[in-house]
């Protein structure tokens, strides 16, 4: 997403100390104050659509070389941060994580974890669908979807506002987690592979 911080992982160890070089779309990376080489990869501050492309991290020393190839997609997304519904209606929230089926997913309302109950249930292999029947005005608030896989996590929230009369047809906010998955090739080096996640809301 635009105006976010992204780190493209590329970490190598060895003796002599490996050297690094980054390329974007087969050309050496242009100098930019938003780009910074760290011990674990390339840090990009305040991402822009022009940052999209294929990145290659070249690592080498006198004993060999390695490279990491990653594809970065930056899109300008504008989605509603507030969703209005009606008291007594059913509200369904869906949270989908791409790139892996192995993750833990939790739902929160106003900072408190949501448990299944009489009018609350989860569906899906990883509880990615939250379905709430007979919503009352007190059920409004900030709903958060939190996904975790190992040390990686992603989260965001949408404000649900419930009013006493029907304002619009049934609303289904969908939270989509986009995962940047990096392919890598390794020759006599240790390359750290990670996944950087972002997420956004879509309203049907």
115-170 tens-digit pLDDT: 999 899 999 888 888 899 988 888 889 888 887 776 666 676 778 888 875 444 34
Q: What is the pLDDT of residue 99?
A: 54
Q: What is the pLDDT of residue 30?
A: 86
Total structural domains within the chain: 2
Q: What is the pLDDT of residue 150?
A: 67
The CATH number assigned to the domain holding 92 equals 2.60.40.10
List C-alpha distances in Å: 118 to 106, 111, 115, 178.
18, 21, 10, 32
Asked, for residue 175, whether it belongs to a domain, the answer is yes
Q: What is the pLDDT of residue 152?
A: 63
- Cβ-based neighbours of 33, under 8 Å, separated by 6 or more: none
User: What whole-number distance in Å separates Cα of residue 203 and Cα of residue 79?
Assistant: 7
How many residues can be counted in the chain? 204
Asked, for residue 58, whether it belongs to a domain, the answer is yes
Q: What is the pLDDT of residue 1?
A: 58
Asked, for residue 203, whether it belongs to a domain, the answer is no
Asked, for residue 204, whether it belongs to a domain, the answer is no
Cβ contact 183:66 at 8 Å:
no
Asked, for residue 202, whether it belongs to a domain, the answer is no
Q: What is the pLDDT of residue 194?
A: 31
Distance of CA 129 to the CA centre of its chain: 17
Asked, for residue 201, whether it belongs to a domain, the answer is no
- Asked if 67 and 89 sit in the same domain, the reply is no
User: What whole-number distance in Å separates Cα of residue 127 and Cα of residue 124?
Assistant: 5
Q: What is the pLDDT of residue 160?
A: 86
Positive or negative: CA dihedral 159, 165, 167, 170: positive
Q: How much is the pTM?
A: 0.47
Range of the domain at 94: 82-179
| Neighbour-count burial of 181, counting CB atoms closer than 10 A to its CB (0-12 exposed, 13-18 middle, 19+ buried) | middle
Asked, for residue 146, whether it belongs to a domain, the answer is yes
Positions of the chain with pLDDT under 70: 1-2, 74-82, 96-101, 150-154, 156, 165-204
Q: What is the pLDDT of residue 151?
A: 60
E strands present in the chain: 6-9, 19-24, 27-28, 35-37, 41-44, 53-61, 64-72, 82-86, 91-97, 104-109, 112-113, 120-123, 129-132, 141-149, 152-163, 173-181, 183-185, 195-203
Among candidate residues 131, 137, 144, the one with its CA nearest the CA of residue 81: 144
């Amino acid at each position: 997403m635009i105006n976010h911080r992204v780190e493209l992982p590329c970490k190598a160890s060895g003796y002599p100390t490996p050297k690094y070089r980054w390329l974007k779309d087969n050309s050496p990376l242009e100098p930019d104050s938003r780009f910074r080489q760290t011990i674990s990869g390339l840090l990009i501050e305040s991402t822009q659509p022009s940052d999209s492309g294929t990145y290659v991290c070249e690592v080498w020393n006198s004993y060999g070389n390695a490279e990491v190839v990653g594809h970065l997609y930056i899109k300008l997304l504008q989605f509603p941060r507030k969703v209005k519904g009606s008291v007594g209606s059913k509200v369904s929230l869906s949270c989908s994580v791409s790139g892996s089926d192995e993750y833990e997913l939790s739902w929160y309302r106003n900072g408190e974890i949501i448990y299944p109950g009489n009018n609350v249930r989860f569906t899906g292999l990883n509880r990615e669908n939250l379905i709430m029947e007979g919503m009352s005005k007190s059920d409004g608030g900030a709903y958060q979807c939190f996904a975790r896989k190992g040390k990686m996590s992603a989260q965001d929230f949408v404000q649900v506002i419930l009013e006493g009369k029907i304002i619009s047809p049934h609303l289904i906010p969908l939270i989509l987690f986009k995962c940047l998955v990096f392919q890598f090739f390794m020759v006599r080096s240790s390359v750290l592979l990670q996944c950087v996640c972002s997420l956004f809301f879509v309203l049907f």
